[in-house]
Homo-oligomer: A and B are copies of this chain.
Amino acid sequence: MRQSTLFGRTLREAPADAQTPGTKLMLRAAIARPLASGLYTWLPLGFRVARKVEQIIREEQDRIGAQEIRIPVITPAEYWKETGRWDTLEPVTFRTKDHGGHEYMIGYTHEELVMHHARNEILSYRQLPVIVYHFQEKGRDEARPRAGLLRVREFVMKDAYSIGRDWDELDKQYWAEHRAYAKSFARMDLEAVSVESDTGNMGGDVAHEFQVLIEVGEDRIIFCSNCDYRANMEKATRRIEAGAPTNKVPKPSEVATPNTTSIEALQTLLGQPAPAFLKTLLMRDAAGNVVAIVLPGDRELNEPKLRKVLATSEVKFANNADFAAAGAVPGYIGPVGLRARLLVDASVDGRSYIAGANKRDAHLRDVVNGRDFTGERVDVHDVRDGDACPKCGGKIMIKRGVEVGNIFKFGPYYADKMNGTYLAEDGTRKPLMFGSYGIGIGRAVQTIIETHHDDKGIIWPIAVAPFQVHVIALAGKEPEINTAADKLVAELEAAGLEVLYDDRDETAGVKFADADLIGIPFRLTISKRTVKEDGVELKPRGAAEAEIVPRAQVVERVAAHVRRALQ
């Protein structure tokens, strides 16, 4: 490929709004270009990377016997309505109607569609187990697209769906996909760790995420510094030690707290640390039901955990009318005497706390859980650095990560909602046991850039590089240099190598800067000097120094490198 007519020009400067180092390089190197917020076009260099990532994933799916299909982007409402996701996914999806008034969703994911086909195609246990997958555009109306291709509104996902006869078969399929994912990420040179995660709006209850731990990630992952425990923030728990004894705590008594509505202000006023207080949050779920959550003053509410407890798609703060109905006052709400469904977080122990008195400018001292109030026991708090590991009691650490893949074990969840059954060997009808498995191509590519670059540009792993060799001709006014470069390119291509050939009429400075920016693994430079020495200058992208390799050896030398890397 001649660089002179490569579509997509490199940029000296990244747009001012590029948020991460990798986003800057992605845009500068002409990997992709935005069309609108969160909508990107792959340019030729980037698309070559995307295709290689896709092919790696395809090979690993095929290796576990998965079968490739392709479901439309435009998906009829009727299937989504069977599971109720037509409504719950509304806030994050794109909808359309045809001119006859029928409703469609631009596929957010494709569970319902696969289950629909499965219930029609699979009649008998003899057709199972099966895994199908496709690469298809997904539409997600993200409120805040960010960081280039990390969070966008349309992207190609490889989504696989496993269908098994029973939990055992599903379990085997789930772990086969887990292994295929680990292998796929390793081949792209992404260090992805799998962590337990929440199933969110997907249904079901066992799931893992594959996380690449980098600062630009928006997920928080919990690790034990002692054992192998790890989990997504939305799923993580901790070991909670028994609190101080509650003997002889006096009855609650009021303390005046004028204009003191936050835990911080209370700490200053009463000279007590945050854990001495109770924080009571009045919330509404998607259906408008009101619930109060009680947490220690130093703990944060984990909304995904709460949504899961409430089986709702959304929680928000209660309004003034809700406060009035509960007999509470904003800023002074507390669990004692509150007229609301009460959820007590597991972090609240048996000690005495200071809590809101449900009247203006007053709190109560000596409030004890189980004595002065009772509620449903739940785990809805954020785990934090230094907490005790739920498995071993070791210290917990938190790291930032990018979720590059996720896998879900649903069991009969979708089959039950969509009447997806098969005739079992014993003559009864049983539910199709379901799992789903997703990887976003663009996010994987952006994560590779975030983890493979230096100040000058991208450093592509050979397996996903847009080209393997970058030939730079420094011809100046001498056409014989171009002739020598043409010949080198032809030999490299004949050896099966993918070559980008910088044939432009530009200075060495511009060409080398672009080569570093684009980040192709091997740079070969031909100039008057190298031709005189009957050599070619070879510089691997990551290396500090270049060397002159004899012309007769250079093709085989690079080819051998590439072969080894792709093994």
CB distance from A447 to the nearest CB of B (A): 18
Residue A548, interface by CB 8 Å? no
Q: How far is the CB of A433 from chain B (nearest CB, A)?
A: 15
Within the complex, which residue of B35, B44, B104, B134 is in contact with A71, where a contact is CB–CB below 8 Å? B35
CA distance A65 to B6 in the complex (A): 10
In the bound complex, CA of A5 to CA of B99 (Å) = 39
Q: Is the CB of B106 within 8 A of A73?
A: yes
* CB-based closest 4 A-B pairs: A44-B67, A42-B70, A36-B76, A94-B96
Residues of chain B within 8 A of A95, CB atoms compared: 96
Q: Of B94, B122, B123, B504, which one neighbours A98 at CB under 8 angstroms?
A: B94
Pick the most buried of A36, A44, A120, A129: most chain B CB atoms within 10 A of its CB: A36
Q: Which of A120-161 contact B (CB under 8 A)?
A: 120-123, 126-130, 132, 134, 137, 139, 141, 143, 153-154, 156
B141 adjacent to A39 (CB under 8 Å): no
Q: Are B44 and A74 interface neighbours, CB within 8 A?
A: no
8 example contacts (A-B, Cβ-Cβ < 8 A) are as follows A5-B128, A7-B118, A9-B127, A41-B72, A44-B69, A47-B134, A70-B156, A98-B153
| Among B39, B116, B117, contact of A76 (Cβ-Cβ < 8 Å) | B39
Complex: chain B residue closest to A70, CB-CB: B42
A74 touches B153 (CB 8 A): yes
Of chain B, the residue at the smallest CB distance from A90 is: B99
Residue of B nearest to A442 (CB): B70
Check A314 for interface membership: any CB of B closer than 8 A.
Answer: no
Which B residue sits closest to A8, measured CB to CB?
B121
The reply on A371 being an interface residue by CB < 8 A is no
Given contact pairs A35-B116, A39-B72, enumerate 15 new A-B contacts (beta carbons under 8 Å).
Answer: A7-B121, A9-B122, A36-B102, A39-B74, A39-B76, A41-B70, A41-B117, A42-B70, A44-B67, A47-B69, A72-B137, A74-B139, A74-B154, A96-B106, A106-B106
Contact of A7 among B44, B69, B70, B154 (CB under 8 A): B69
Instruction: Mark interface residues in A1-27 (1 if CB within 8 Å of B CB, else 0).
Output: 100111111000000000000000000
In the complex, the answer to whether A69 meets B42 with C-beta atoms within 8 Å is yes
The one of B39, B67, B113 in contact with A41, judged by C-beta atoms closer than 8 angstroms, is B113
Assembly CA distance A36 to B105 (angstroms): 13
Q: Output the nearest chain B residue to A124 by Cβ-Cβ distance.
A: B9
- Number of A interface residues in the complex (CB < 8 A): 68
Q: Hey, which chain B residues are within 8 Å of A73, CB to CB?
A: 73, 106, 137, 139, 154
Question: How far does the alpha carbon of A371 sit from the alpha carbon of B385 in the complex, in Å?
Answer: 97
Q: Which residues of B are found within 8 Å of A96, using beta-carbon distances?
A: 94-96, 106
What does the 1/0 interface line of A83-118 toward B look like (CB < 8 Å)?
Answer: 000000001001111110010101000000100111
A67 and B7 in contact, given A35-B116, A72-B39, A96-B94 (Cβ under 8 angstroms): yes
Q: How far is the CA of A232 from the CA of B79 in the complex (A)?
A: 41
Instruction: Knowing A5-B129, A139-B73 are in contact, say whether A68-B39 is a contact too (CB < 8 A).
Output: no
A6 to chain B, nearest CB (A): 7
**A50 lies within 8 A of chain B by Cβ:** yes
Using a CB–CB cutoff of 8 Å, the interface residues on chain A facing chain B are: 1, 4-9, 30, 33, 35-36, 39-44, 47-48, 50-51, 65, 67-76, 78-79, 91, 94-99, 102, 104, 106, 113, 116-118, 120-123, 126-130, 132, 134, 137, 139, 141, 143, 153-154, 156, 504-505
Q: Do A121 and B68 touch (CB < 8 A)?
A: no
- Nearest B residue to A92 by beta-carbon distance? B99
Interface centre among A50, A104, A117, A143 (most CB of B within 10 A): A104
Q: Are B127 and A4 in contact (CB under 8 A)?
A: yes
Residue from B41, B72, B113, B139 within 8 A of A69 (CB atoms)? B41
Residues of B within 8 A of A48 (CB): 68
Q: Report the Cα distance A126→B97, complex, angstroms.
A: 45
Contact status B121-A72, CB under 8 Å: no
Instruction: State in angstroms the CA–CA spacing of A102 and B141 once bound together.
Output: 11
Measured in the bound complex, the distance between the Cα atoms of B98 and A127 in whole Å is: 41
Taking a contact as CB atoms closer than 8 A, the residue among B7, B43, B70, B154 that contacts A50 in the complex is B70
Say yes or no: A132 contacts B44, CB within 8 Å.
Answer: yes
Tell me whether A43 and B72 are in contact (CB under 8 A).
Answer: no
Question: Nearest residue in B to A76 (C-beta to C-beta)?
Answer: B36
CB pair B35–A113 under 8 Å, yes or no, is: yes
Given A99-B91, A104-B94: A72 and B154 interface contact (C-beta under 8 Å) = yes
Among A48, A74, A120, the one with the most B-chain Cβ atoms within 10 Å of its Cβ is A74
Q: Are A76 and B126 in contact (CB under 8 A)?
A: no
Give the Cβ gap from A362 to chain B, nearest Cβ, in Å. 42
Find the B residue at minimum CB distance from A51: B68
Task: Return A152 CB to nearest CB of chain B, in Å.
Answer: 9
CA A35 to CA B134, docked complex, whole Å:
16
Please name the residue on chain B nearest to A62 by beta carbon.
B1
Which B residues are CB-close (under 8 A) to A74? 39, 94, 106, 139, 153-154
